[in-house]
Amino acid sequence: MTAADTLPLWLPAADALALLKVRPQTLYANVSRGRIRTRPDAADPRRSLYHRDDVQRLAARRQGRRSDAVLAGEAIQWGEPVLASAISTVMAGRLYYRGQDACALADAGTLEQVSALLWDGPAMPFAAPAPPVPASSTAPLAGAMTALALRAAADPPSRGRGRPALLQEAAGLMGLLADALAGPARGALLHERLAAAWRRPKAADTIRRALVLLADHELNASTFAARVTASTGASLAASVLGGLAALSGPLHGGAARATLGLVRAAEREGVDAAMHEWLSLGRRLPAFGHPLYPQGDVRCDALLAHLDLPAPYAALREAGERLMGEKANVDFALAALSTAHRLPAHAPLVLFALARAVGWIAHALEQQATGTLIRPRARYTGPAPGARAVR
């Protein structure tokens, strides 16, 4: 263990400056750009504390001149932007869709309206042109992947096709996903369909807000997967399938499900005991903290403001923020929404997938318009080429 490993999680400005070897203005600039998380100092709220891991990461990057390969590798993992995009950005702790505040859009907008904004086209209903795909009550994600795979195998490539045709195809794909994840249409708008499918009409407005807030989030893992697929000229269905495959992982779309598990453990054993057990296994608490929101995930706040937070969640939120030193994020809010309205266990993932598919399509359309292939190089770390095997 090094001396740096023994530092507290949150550092005063003097310690952060000493590690970074920069002037205060540079420290504050890194905070404003979302590179260093901060929180108020409990002993003096006028002062700020700085997240140790973020400070150490930036300090390591400043040591010596780095090669292009190292810079590119760092950019892929919460680093500088790696692709130009006009679709969405997180800036100064706020999420914007084409320059419009996503939280403000969530006050009255629908996912259909947001799709028109992100796709830069007319608003169209999400209606599948083919017969409805029956939804699975036990494995909706599997049904959606199967439906998309069939379309991906049959649809023409997106490269070289006109934008009006692609936009029409995009709306049909959203209808296909809705059929697979929520069942045949029972409501004009997607949030109404979901509320009807889950027999929770009172949840419709909160579902609407969640869908808008989750529609896009820069180049997250699933969006990057969708965009790489689109760069090959593949069909929109193939791009959405790539995004959905990436979303299925526990470090991405599965975080809200992990939070539900932690809540159930807290109800059985008590919050402190459940958290201690979770942390003792070397697992990070799910649904707390986000590198792009040093002051807290605004999407979480926007959702929780319209929920009566169930008691286990209130206790979990307080304890988690105290232990982690970071605020709850949107995965926490999705789990709380699911519990508050007694939605199915798969509801958070369904909401995430349906909303983010709008963003995947937006990025696929944008990438297709560039006509370029995304093809990074690998920084080889294996045996020296031509080395003889030792017998």
Active site amino acids: 290, 331
Tokens of 187: 């409501």
Q: Give yes or no for a contact between 216 and 354, defined as CB atoms under 8 angstroms apart.
A: no
Selection from 254, 299, 324, 300 nearest residue 37 by Cα:
324
Give the three-class secondary structure for 288.
strand
Type of residue found at 358: V
Name the 3-class secondary structure at 247.
helix
Distance CA 344, CA 96 (A): 30
Contact 40, 48 (CB under 8 A): yes
Classify 175 as helix, strand or coil.
Answer: helix
**E-assigned strands of the chain?**
10-12, 38-41, 44-51, 88-91, 94-97, 100-101
Query: Beta strands 10-12 and 38-41: pairing type?
Result: unpaired
Q: Is the dihedral of CA 140, 259, 208, 237 positive or negative?
A: negative
Q: How far apart are CA 108 and CA 123, in angstroms?
A: 16
Task: Report the C-alpha gap between 90 and 33 in whole angstroms.
Answer: 9
First-to-last alpha carbon distance for the chain, in angstroms, is 37
